[in-house]
A = this chain, B = another copy of it.
Amino acid sequence: MKRRAFLKSAGAGAAAAGAGLAVTGVAAPAIAQSQPEIQWRLASSFPKSTDILFGASELIARRVAESTDGKFQIRAFPGGELVPGLQVLDAVQNGSVQCGHTCGYYYVGKDPTFAFDTAIPFGPNARQTTAWFQAGGLELMRAFMKNYNVIQFPAGNTGAQMGGWYRKEIKTVEDFQGLKIRIAGITGQIMSKMGATPTQIAGADVYPALEKGTIDATEFVGPYDDERLGFHQVAKYYYYPGWWEGGPNVSLYVNLQEWEKLPKAYQSILTAACAEANTYMIARYDAENAKALKRLIAKGTLLRGYPRELMEQAHKIAFEYYDELAKTNPNFKTIYESWKPFLDETQLWFRVAELPYDNFMATNSSKK
């Protein structure tokens, strides 16, 4: 019941809420407020080496400083420096940092509902994700996250990711049986139901495990980040698409008490900075992934598409699993009942204008 209560008030105002302006509301009256000096620490889940992911938090910090003549300072720390990358939520919740740049799906162990903050298999693409937040999804997610003493701001998206590095080709559903793949969370659950053996290995151990064949496959992000980890040196086949990450959102989590202490103008500036980070991250990934993909192919990487029958099986298992979760978890149910119809409705529209255009451009350019 308690879980239900916090979501009750979320529905009514959802339609009116703009993604960026939901919290700060209408224009502030022209009354001068002081500009206090404020210093925050931001714990990122991402290492410096993933410079686009980490760069987005640096952009937020820079934008906030510039917009306040340096009075509101945020210092961004890479994953692991203040807290381990997967414990950013906890650090924000208990106030040991004021904010963190992270992905909700790292915290599905606490509640699978967190996954809607980032991505779940066969979920919306990047544009649909942003549109859903805008159309009421953000308000629902914030009502949920309030339970964790957090207010959340969409602040980055990677676009559709790749489907990982494989030592052997996957030609049929059978090839997935017993496959040892390094993957976690809801996708791990689904792959397990498909007969694979999801494995959890610490970041630094993935490369040697793949090299030795202790695991058969691993996934990470996309060409730009993956190339740096060198997976192409120990696994030949690079699969697409990452059907569990069609448009993963990265969020800024802010401790609620710290948020409420901010002057209205600083709240407004931080909100806009997060929206800018959203635009920045995907734009950089789109440009850099394109270049990195060309380099990987030149180095001998072989691109392979997941067999359609495998994706169809995964899709079926995924939505059966979500239906089950919705039956037992009221938080998940509340979000899912907004998220799923939105996904279906926007899909229809994307099929009409966006996809035929993109497909024409893709097939036409391929002829040259």
A contact residues vs B (CB 8 Å cutoff)? 18-21, 24, 26-33, 35, 37, 59, 61-63, 65-71, 73, 122, 125-128, 130-135, 159-162, 222-223, 240-243, 246, 264-265, 268-269, 271-273, 275-276, 278-280, 282-284, 286-287, 289-291, 293-294, 303, 305, 308, 311-312, 315, 342-362, 364-366, 368
Contact = CB atoms under 8 A, between A and B. Distances in A.
Contact of A315 (B63, B68, B269, B364): B364
Q: For the complex, would chain A's binding face be called helix, strand, loop or mixed by DSSP majority?
A: helix
B265 A134 contact: no
Number of copies of chain A assembled together: 2
Contacts of A26: 62
15 contacts: A21-B62, A21-B63, A27-B65, A27-B70, A66-B268, A69-B264, A122-B361, A125-B357, A128-B286, A159-B353, A240-B352, A275-B279, A279-B279, A347-B362, A354-B358
A353 B160 contact: yes
A272 B68 CA distance: 13
Given A222-B353, A352-B293, A283 B127 contact: yes
A131 B283 contact: yes
A352 B224 CA distance: 14
A305 B355 CA distance: 12
Contacts of A71: 30, 32
Contacts of A134: 280, 283-284, 287
Contacts of A308: 360
Given A31-B70, A70-B28, A357-B243, A350 B364 contact: no
A223 B74 CA distance: 42
A241 B356 contact: yes
B365 A347 contact: yes
Q: Which 6 A-B pairs have the closest CB atoms?
A: A30-B70, A241-B357, A275-B276, A66-B268, A290-B349, A131-B286
Contacts of A63: 20-21, 268, 271-272
B127 A348 contact: no
Contacts of A160: 353-354, 357-358
A353 B242 contact: yes
Given A32-B35, A162-B353, 15 more contacts: A26-B62, A27-B65, A28-B66, A31-B70, A125-B358, A131-B283, A134-B283, A161-B353, A240-B353, A240-B357, A272-B276, A278-B279, A290-B349, A294-B345, A308-B360
Nearest to A352: B240
A241 B354 contact: yes
